[in-house]
Structure 1
Amino acid sequence: MEPVSPRANRSGLLSHQQTGARYESIARRHLEQAGLTFVAANVRYRVGEIDLVMREEARWVFVEVRYRRSGEFGGAPASVTWRKQRKLLRAAALWLASRNASFETTDCRFDVVAITGDRLEWLPDAFNADV
């Protein structure tokens, strides 16, 4: 895990959306430094939302960013439930379909960037379309 800047969320000063945007920005920078290329953020469909869409060479990488102040209830990784995974999978299927592609025809993976307190954990290939 990697530490996150102590200037992170100061309770009560940021709205839920501002907090989410801040941690998505932190996650994006981390992934770009690791060699991924940013494509889009906050892609919304009726069935769900994709926080970040990245590329790793020819592979699409769909990223769920989760933040929790503490690990008291399992931390950020535990908050990516099967329901959340299903929503992300549905949104990713629509993203691919809009590009005349599908899970069967395109190389892609689903990553989670989990930030618990001041610790960042990148979980590549956290789940797949077989969920």
Structure 2
Amino acid sequence: MVTTKTLGDDGEERALAHLLRAGLTLVQRNYRVAGGPGRPAGEVDLILRERDGTLVFVEVRQRRSAAHGGAAASITVTKQRRIVRAAQHFLMRAPTPPPCRFDVIAIDGSQLQWLKAAFTA
């Protein structure tokens, strides 16, 4: 049986393979930050590094089709805030934070689109 979780995992694998072929290196997968009172949890699907040292925080979204706006349109401002919060938490470990970027891999059906610098912190 194909579940939403299985589809999501498959999309994430496909996105990672695409980014690795493009020359990025994987730093971490599924980085999670716990929520607190009045603060929802945050997660970054993939954290990779570009050849120039830029740290890339990637949100992967998959939809069966582009109907209803598609995968990219499903990343709301609220979701962006949660990703940024998790990224900030991740960067607290770095003595000097590197340049960073927030990308989106949108998969609509069989179509994969890599949106570099899709949003800012």
Query: What TM-score do you get using the length of structure 2 for normalisation?
Result: 0.89
Query: Which of 23, 29, 35 matches 1:35?
Result: 23
Partner of 1:24: 12
Do structure 1's residue 55 and structure 2's residue 49 form an aligned pair? yes
The reply on whether 1:122 has 2:114 as its aligned counterpart is: yes
Structure 1: distance between partners of 2:8 and 2:78: 19
Aligned to 1:73: 68
Q: Distance in 2 between matches of 1:71 and 1:64?
A: 17
What's the offset of the Cα at 1:97?
A: 0.5
**Which amino acid in structure 2 is aligned with residue 109 of structure 1?**
R
The one-letter code of the counterpart of 1:128 is T
Shift, 1:16, TM fit:
2.2
**In structure 2, C-alpha distance between the alignment counterparts of 1:52 and 1:41, rounded to whole Å:** 5
The answer to whether 1:87 aligns with 2:82 is yes
Amino acid at match of 1:107: P
Q: Which runs of 4+ in 1 moved over 4 A?
A: none
Deviates most, 13-22 or 73-82: 13-22
Q: Which AA in structure 1 matches 2:12? A: E
With a CA cutoff of 8 Å and minimum separation of 6, indicate the structure with the bigger relative contact order. 1
User: How many percent identity over aligned positions?
Assistant: 47
Q: CA deviation at 1:125?
A: 0.6
Give the gaps of 5 or more residues in structure 2. Answer: 35-40
SS in 2 for 1:73: helix
C-alpha RMSD over aligned residues? 1.1
Q: Secondary structure at the match of 2:68?
A: coil
Residue 106 of structure 1: how far off its partner (Å): 2.5
Deviation at 1:87, TM superposition (A): 0.4
Unaligned stretches of 5+ residues in structure 1: 1-12
